Amino acid sequence: MGMTLAEKILAHKVGRDRVRPGELLEVPVDWVLAHEITTPAAIKMLEARDMDRVWNPERVVAVPDHTVPAKDIASAKLYQRLREWVQRHGIKHWYEVGRGGIAHTVFEASGLPAPGEVVVSGDSHTPNAGALGTFATGIGSTDLAGAIYAGKIWLRVPETLRIELKGRLNPGVYAKDIILEVIRRIGDDGARGMAMEWGGEGMATLSMEERFTLTNMAVEAGGMTGVIAADEVTQAYLREKGTPEERWHCFQPDPDAEYAQVVEVDLSQLEPVVAFPNRPGNGKPISEAVGIRIDQAYLGSCTNGRISDLRVAANILKGRQVAPWVRMIIVPATQEIYKQALREGLLEIFVEAGATVSYPSCGACLGMHTGVLGPNDVCISSTNRNFTGRMGHPTAQIYLASPAVVAASAVTGYITDPRTLESATEEAA
């Protein structure tokens, strides 16, 4: 019996010919991704035990992103704590405010991660990097401390759920609709503790930015990681970012690999999906959501704050106005994306439409700042979670959808199928 993609990566990292689900391994890590919320707790643990060291300062990537620029004194202290640690240990890859953005999106575009590597972070959306053929997983601050100190973590080899894509998406349907549909089918814990392996002929039709959206939300189905084998699309992206080819280990799953479950998705049959409150798995066809009045439209996050997402939204908003009772908040995921949107004139389109453009951060996604929801607010969001209280007040209602649905809904003031607006699908055509 062959191995899945996740099993091949882990076997390679521990120097074995094969590993099997359930085995407990001590796995060397290639990258630790740090931010100002969970990393200070790990630093405190190490200092309390006289273990204040970093196993390899060139293999830590530090990006303050959740509450920056600082929203209050407590946030400023967390930021200072991370920065002081970075400076004290000579951490090479430090992305200061104004030069970074959301950690996962910064990391994916940095040219640092390579296929076959292991990435860990004290953040549940670390599987984002799995679109590059890495084994990327979120861990707690205690395990994070161990990874920082020793460059190793204990991992139980996960079972693998395979998602087989075929066909091609129709105009007006996006990668966000794919992942929401998969989670709708399998449930919020349908991949609990598993690796979600994406593949099939339909994968070749998806760009790298679309692939990051798929792996980013593995945890919303309970997954340990999401992973996609590095193909020609991946390799072209890596070359563009300058990732040294000698570090690539482009594993492919074996044809006779054993999967816990296989889910088949015909992309040509998908329509826009909206996840109703209060679960990402509570997905319904757009037809069942049309007409729900909204107060806020939020476009951003590590899931859908990339340049392609902003282009989709700009294509819909150009020449239109955000509904008078709606506040639309747009957050480019990184400073580089912000600058690209500026060069392309997208920011002007947003501002002319009556939207506000904020600085790159995770702030509103998790209800910390720059867009916190009040009592009974209704928000259509391109983020990854709609749990009770996630973006603010516990009575607020959060609907998850693609950037196209978010932009179209902002214009009408009600959840709207973007395919019904003139020119709304040109970007995908």
The DSSP-derived string for 52-67 is ---S-GGGEEE---SS
Which pLDDT score, from 0 to 100, does residue 423 have?
54
Which pLDDT score, from 0 to 100, does residue 100 have?
97
Which pLDDT score, from 0 to 100, does residue 429 have?
42
pLDDT at 293 over 60: yes
Which pLDDT score, from 0 to 100, does residue 15 have?
97
Strands 283-285 and 273-275: antiparallel
Domain span(s) for CATH 3.30.499.10 in the chain: 6-14+25-266, 276-428
pLDDT at 283 over 80: yes
What pTM was computed for the model? 0.96
Instruction: For residues 400-413, give the mean pLDDT.
Output: 98
pLDDT at 426 over 80: no
Q: Write a three-state SS string for 130-159.
A: HHHCCEEEECCHHHHHHHHHHCEEEEECCC
Which pLDDT score, from 0 to 100, does residue 422 have?
59
pLDDT at 427 over 90: no
Which pLDDT score, from 0 to 100, does residue 424 have?
52
CATH topology of domain 6-14+25-266: Aconitase; domain 3 (3.30.499)
Kindly report, residue by residue over 68-106, the tens digit of the pLDDT: 999 999 999 999 999 999 999 999 999 999 999 999 999
pLDDT at 292 over 70: yes
Instruction: For residues 202-219, give the mean pLDDT.
Output: 98
At 184, the pLDDT band (50, 70, 90 cuts) reads very high
Candidates 161, 406, 163; CA nearest to 273 is 406
Is the domain 276-428 a CATH 3.30.70.360 member?
no
At 1, the pLDDT band (50, 70, 90 cuts) reads confident
